[in-house]
Amino acid sequence: MDDRLGAFEQLLLLALVRLGEDTYGVPIREEIEARTGRAVSPGAVYTALDRLERRGLVRSHLGDPSPERGGKRKRQYRLTTRGAAAIGQAHSTLAQMAHGLKPKLGTP
Amino acid sequence: MSLGGRGSRSIWARLLPSGVREVVAGDLEEIQRRGRVTRARFLLLIAASVVTCWVDALFPLSRRDVGVDDRRNRGDGLMSTFFQDIGYGLRMMRRAPGFTAAAVLTIALGIGVNTATFGIVNVLSLMPLNYQDPERVAFVFGWSQERQERRFNLPLADAIDIGAQSRAFEAVSAYAYWSANLTGGDQPERLQAYRVTANTFALLGAEASYGRTLTPDDGRPDAAAVVVLSDGLWRRRFGGDASIVGRAITLDGVGHTVVGIMPRRFEFPIFNFKGEAWTPLRTDAKAGSTRAGSPSIVAITRLRPGVSYRAAQTDLDAVMRRLEADHPSTNRGLGGRVLEMRRLGEEAGAPLALILMAAVGMVLLLACANVANLLLARAVGRERELAVRAAIGAGRGRLVRQLLTESLLLAAGGAVLGVGFAFWALDALRAVLPEALLTTMPNVAELGVDRTTLAFAAVMTVACAAIFGAGPAVRMVRTDLQGSLKSGGTSASAGPRHQRLRATLMIAQVAVSLILLVAAGLLIRTFDRLQHVDAGFTPDRVVTMMMSLPEYRYGDASSHQRFFEAALGSVARVPGVASAAFANVLPFSTYNDGTRYIVDDGTLPEPGREPGSDYRVITPDYFQTMGIPIVAGRAFDSRDRSATEPVTIISEVFARRVFGTGDPIGKRVRLGRRDSPIRWLTIVGVAGDVRHSAITEQPQPTLYRPFAQAPAERMMLAARAAGGGEALTDTVRAAIGAVDPMQPVYHVTMLSRLVDTALMPNAAAMSMMSLLGALALMLATIGIYGVVSYAVSQQTREIGVRLALGASPGDVLRLMLRRGLFLVLTGAAIGVAGALGVTRFMAGVLYGVTPADAPTYLVVAAGLILVGAAACYIPARRAMRVDPVTVLRME
């Protein structure tokens, strides 16, 4: 199975690694926004996670509602083994390609 | 206020697709509660989420390829594979531009003519009248029990009584044609005005766009004179200035206060000249007591909710019987008929409209057959592709769906072009609509592609796709795909089953186009016959116009006589006018006048059973001007004055019906009923018969009287030009203006144009049907050509072998031609049988030709077979030129 990942998908999976078990849309969004400065809409987070779930890279279940969500349930996500492998693979691929290029790329 | 408030929260949440609403909305709400985003930013997040989720729901991204059945994803299948199919279909269309263009154009043709025709039918008979609950608005007509015939008019007294006594009607109103002179501007103008009972607007449920409509108070005998204007008149004459409301305008010399302007789409009455101004028809309380002098009006009504037309008719019958018993002298033999207002138009146009719809439907079927043919031919090329896809796991259902989606794409492409064509065609048509239609038919100004028409086009599109797509799709999938994979993709489809389907399509095409061509032929012959009908007069080069003297300036009969005689003298002096005359009504003017009469033969008809006749008041040169022959006795002349012996001229039908073979000259008749004052008229002449309102009607008995002995205030002028004609219009008009510059003339037109207008439905049907017949012939020819040339290309090998074994090229040509011609002849035979069955329904619109008219069938069948043979010959000749050596070497 080909588990190639898009850039945004990589960000999502890394956020899941960072946040641990059963996290959901709002913290994921904040994590990405805080670390990359990239504004992300809940809709985008949700649809991308949904796609990843259909590819078997994440798993989800409906969690409890809370008052601050207006009584709406949240969908909680966790990484599957395959998802972890895929993000690991993607990261190392990138790292290998980028190895020693820091001066040329001019980034800190 | 905030977006987080309980009330407003649900609003934006509802913008999200239902599947993701709870989760995404929950996230958004939580973000907002935490309060770390600004309001503007939050709105942006909502918008972005809505867009993203919808895009994802409608266009799910997927790397899976077409045809590979991914079982893991069965659940979300339908929508996403549909989009896949579309994407794939578009690619296929791009890859075969020639095929795509041919198919799309053919469908565009079919859908275009269907949509345009439907647009016309829609306006003429489907679009509801612009009244409140229009299906309950109806005419109440009189019904002559003696002649079993509808009478448009009723006495006002009867209308009032029906309104008071009937339980089926909410109300009854009445209108009477008025046509008033509007003065006070640069030029006097004749308005199509109506006097309407004050409850008319309430009955119709119509509101004014400025000011008000009429109220019951306006109908009182002592009420001030008021008028309601149409939108058209208001814009044309008063520049669309709303301050006209409350000001006075002068109608027939009397100041009328404008109380309201009606909306643009308000049209009343219909199937008569649409009104431009409405004033109250005053109804005295004592109207019932003076029945004999009660004015003639047209009655309309609104049925009570839930009352059927059948029940309303029963109720009306009871009321009319009671009135007959109460007022035998006026109401004997008078019944009533209630007719939904809309239906009156259907009576006129529906048969032709139905025939045209059927015809365009056939053209669409022909187009579908051609596209199906194209698809079948292409199926051969695609067999291998489909076999491969089936082999790697695509189910048959999935393949059929893919093929149908492609058909739908072709149909949709055709529909876009076709609807575009319809837009253009209807716009063009609207610009050239004849005056007669614009001023009488309801909704006709709305002609165009509206929502109903678009919906019709959409349904047509899907139906088309199903028709031309289903056969080939099922056929293709049913073929042995494995076999075709093995055989390297050559022509499992070229097998007998495919050939049979194509042959069937071709036979059907020939048959259908033959039916259409026969229908066109019959209409052409009808039109030809109609044009050669002797209407009883010569319409060429006759200028006609109408004038109506207002009472306030021409109060008595002698003033009418003075004006019209002076006007006639003035017109006669115009250079180029050969002769001129006035008549109360001219043939084909859509006006008519009638009378009852009693013959002086010692007997009296029963009360209420006095016979009727058309009634004409004419000046002496009328017969000469109109080219109506005097067959016995004399025409009127200057000897017939008011003081001399009262005389009359009768028509031939009148003479035959009343006097049989006897000589009517010198006999006497009187006008009116038994109890009318007796004034005998001596018959001095017999004139040729005239068809007055339709070229297809039988001439009616007619009584003529000299204008000098029966002056009237409303007359029509007929002026025959020595040459030219139309050019005279202005000078004739000026000649009348010279007699009285304040007197407007109207309905200015050529007599021949009036006749043409009466023939217009026939002319339109004929041209439409001829066009459709030509389209059908073209489509069928393409179809035949396609089938035969395909057969030739498939049988190249066989032909090569035959040639190699010694067949002459002539033999091959004959062989190919024989097959093609066999199909054409079969189609023609079926078509003749079909046409004999179908054209029976046309009998009502044919004239002077029977639906089974042999010459028409012969000419059409021969022509079609000839064209079919030519379409076979061209590809068959290619077969003759096959080089056996090349073909056999390919083996």
Reduced to 3 states (helix: H, G, I; strand: E, B; else coil), residue A76 is strand
- Tell me the average pLDDT across B480-490: 56
Using a pLDDT cut of 90, give the percent of chain B over it. Answer: 36
Do the chains contact at B23 and A51, CB–CB below 8 Å?
no
**Cβ within 8 Å, pair A74-B26:** yes
State residue B5's pLDDT score. Answer: 41
Nearest beta carbon to residue A75 from set B23, B29, B48: B23
Residue B552 has pLDDT above 50, yes or no: yes
Q: What is the dihedral angle through the alpha carbons of B257, B259, B262, B263, rounded to the nearest 10 degrees?
A: 120
| Inter-CA distances, B110 with B103, B160, B776, Å | 11, 52, 10
Contact call for B27 and A29, based on CB within 8 A: yes
Q: Is B487 helix (H, G, I), strand (E, B) or coil?
A: coil
Question: Does the bond joining B134 to the residue before it have cis omega, within 30 degrees of 0?
Answer: no
Q: Per-residue pLDDT for B670 more than 80?
A: yes
Spatial contact of B706 and B620, defined as CB atoms under 8 Å apart: yes
Q: Judging by DSSP bridges, how do beta strands B277-280 and B193-196 pair with one another?
A: parallel
For the residues B640-668, what does the mean pLDDT come to?
93
Interface with B, mutate which of A47, A49, A75 (most B CBs under 10 A): A47
Distance CA B596, CA B841 (A): 38
Our measurement of the distance from residue B91's CA atom to the centroid of its chain's CA atoms, rounded to an integer in Å, reads: 42
Strands B181-183 and A58-65, by their bridges, are unpaired
Residues in chain A within 8 Å Cβ distance of B27: 24-26, 29, 42, 45-46, 69, 74
Q: What pLDDT does B586 receive?
A: 95
Mutant choice from B18, B30, B56 vs A, greatest count of A C-beta within 10 A: B30
pLDDT at position B811 over 50: yes
Asked if pLDDT for residue B103 goes beyond 80, the answer is yes
pLDDT for position B258? 94
Each residue's pLDDT tens digit, B110-131? 999 999 999 988 887 788 888 9
Q: Which of residues 13-52 of A touch B (CB under 8 A)?
A: 24-26, 29, 39, 41-47, 50-51
- CB distance A42–B31 less than 8 Å? yes
Q: What value, to the nearest 5°, has the Cα angle with vertex B675 and ends B672 and B679?
A: 55
Q: Which of B13-27, B73-87, B692-706, B772-786 has the lowest mean pLDDT?
A: B73-87
pLDDT in tens, B537-547: 999 899 999 98
pLDDT of residue B18: 77
* Chain-chain contact of B29 with A69 (C-beta, under 8 angstroms): yes
Q: What is the 3-state secondary structure (H, E, C) of B431-486?
A: HCCCHHHHCCCCCHHHCCCCHHHHHHHHHHHHHHHHHHHHHHHHHHHHCCHHHHHH
If we measure between CA atoms, which residue out of B397, B474, B363, B483 comes closest to residue B113?
B363
Let me know: does B700 contact B614? Beta carbons within 8 Å: yes
Whole-Å CA distances, B427 to B422, B431, B444, B762, B845: 8, 6, 12, 22, 27
Nearest CB among A50, A54, A72 relative to B26 is that of: A72
- DSSP states of B3-27 as a string? TTSHHHHHHHHTTS-GGGHHHHHHH
Please answer yes or no on whether B20 and A43 come within 8 Å at the CB atom: yes
Q: Is the pLDDT of residue B612 over 70?
A: yes
Q: Name chain B contacts of A68, Cβ cutoff 8 Å.
A: 29-30, 33-34
A window 47-86, beta carbon within 8 A of B: 47, 50-51, 54, 62, 65-66, 68-70, 72-75
In this predicted structure, what is the pLDDT of residue B680? 94
Residue of B nearest to A28 (CA): B27
Contact B31 A26 (CB under 8 A): yes
Joined together, the tokens standing for residue B740 give 């009285």
Interface of B with A (CB under 8 A): 4, 9, 16, 20, 22-31, 33-34, 44-45, 48-53, 56, 61, 73, 76
Query: How do residues B242-255 score in pLDDT, each as one tens digit?
Result: 899 999 999 888 89
Q: How far is CA B586 from CA B271, B571, B615, B705, B880, in A?
A: 19, 17, 11, 14, 68
Name the residue among B29, B52, B73 with its Cβ closest to that of A72: B29
Q: Which of B725, B714, B762, B760 is nearest to B538 (CA)?
A: B725
- The three-point CA angle B817-B864-B774 to 5° equals 130
Measured between alpha carbons, how far is B24 from A74 in angstroms, rounded to an integer?
8
When pLDDT is cut at 50, 70 and 90, the band that residue B63 belongs to is very low
Q: pLDDT: is B596 or B608 the higher one?
A: B596
pLDDT at B703: 96
Low-confidence ranges of chain A (pLDDT < 50): 1
Confidence of residue B473 (pLDDT cuts 50, 70, 90): confident
Q: What is the pLDDT, as a whole number, of residue B481? A: 61
Q: Which residue of A has its CA nearest to B55?
A: A47
Residue B423 has what pLDDT? 92
Q: State which H helix or E strand residue B733 sits in.
A: helix B728-739
CB-side exposure of B782: number of CA atoms within 13 Å? 18
Mutant choice from B23, B31, B33 vs A, greatest count of A C-beta within 10 A: B23
Which of A43, A62, A65 is nearest residue B50 as measured by Cβ atoms? A43
Indicate whether B384 pLDDT > 90. no
Q: What's the rounded mean pLDDT across residues B698-709?
A: 94
| Residues B553-573: tens digit of each pLDDT | 888 889 999 999 999 999 999
How far is A71 from chain B, CA to nearest CA, in Å?
8
Distance between B52 CA and the closest CA of chain A, angstroms:
6
List pLDDT tens digits, range B176-217: 888 788 887 777 788 889 999 999 999 999 999 999 999 988
Residues B251 and B144: beta-carbon distance below 8 Å: no
CB B823 within 8 A of CB B787: yes
Nearest CA in chain A to B74: A54
The pLDDT of residue B881: 79
- Residue A33 CA to residue A42 CA, distance in Å, equals 12
**Which of B22, B27, B65 best tests the A interface by mutation, with the highest count of A CBs <10 A?**
B27
Q: What SS3 state is found at B296?
A: strand
What does B66-91 look like in DSSP terms, one character per residue? TT---GGGGGGHHHHHHHHHHHHHHH
| Interatomic CA distance for residues B17 and A103, integer angstroms | 47
pLDDT of residue B619: 95
Q: Which residues contact B81 (CB under 8 A, 6 or more apart)?
A: B398, B401
This prediction has a pTM of 0.69
**CB distance B22–A73 less than 8 Å?**
yes
d(CA A20, CA A22): 7
Q: Is the pLDDT of residue B701 over 90?
A: yes
Answer whether B876's CB lies under 8 Å from B817's CB: yes
Percent of all residues in chain B with a pLDDT value above 70, rounded to a whole number: 92
pLDDT at B10 over 60: no
CB contact under 8 A, A72 and B22: yes
Q: Give the pLDDT confidence score for residue B114 in this predicted structure.
A: 93
Q: Select from A25, A39, A44 the Cβ nearest to the Cβ of B23.
A: A25
Sign of dihedral through CA atoms B262, B267, B272, B274? positive
Kindly state the DSSP code that residue B842 receives in the 8-state scheme. G
On the question of pLDDT at B430 being above 60, the answer is: yes
pLDDT of residue B285: 52
Given a cut of 70, whether residue B23 has pLDDT beyond it is yes
Q: Which residues of A17-46 are buried (b: 16+ CB within 10 A; e: fewer)?
A: eebeeebbbbebbbbbeeeeeeebbbbbbb
How confident is the prediction for chain A on average, in pLDDT? 82
Q: List, in sequence order, every beta strand (DSSP E) within B711-785.
A: 714-721, 746-750
Rounded to a whole number of angstroms, the distance from the CA of B91 to the nearest CA of chain A is 26
Q: What is the predicted pLDDT for the residue at B565?
A: 93
Contact: A70, B26; criterion CB under 8 Å: yes
| Out of B4, B49, B76, closest to residue A42 by CB | B49
Mean pLDDT of B322-350: 84
User: Average model confidence (pLDDT) for chain B?
Assistant: 84
Question: Looking at residue B65, what is its pLDDT?
Answer: 34
Distances (CA, A) of B769 to B524, B584, B696, B766: 9, 38, 20, 5
Predicted local distance difference test score (pLDDT) of residue B290: 65
Beta partners for B686? B632, B650
* Closest by Cβ to B53, choosing from A24, A47, A65: A47
Cβ of A43 within 8 Å of Cβ of B9? The answer is no
Q: Would you list the DSSP string of B226-265?
A: EEEE-HHHHHHHHTT-GGGTTSEEEETTEEEEEEEE--TT
Q: What is the pLDDT of residue B59?
A: 63
Q: Alpha carbon of B106 to those of B120, B242, B371, B778: distances in Å?
A: 22, 51, 7, 11
User: Out of B6-15, B487-496, B505-514, which region has the weakest mean confidence (pLDDT)?
Assistant: B487-496
Contact (CB<8Å) A42/B51? no
Q: What is the pLDDT of residues B130-177, one digit of tens each?
A: 899 999 999 999 988 877 878 888 888 899 999 999 999 999 999 988
Q: Poorest-confidence range of B308-317, B341-350, B781-790?
A: B341-350
Shortest alpha-carbon distance between residue A21 and chain B (Å): 18
Residue B436 to residue B714: CA distance in whole angstroms: 20
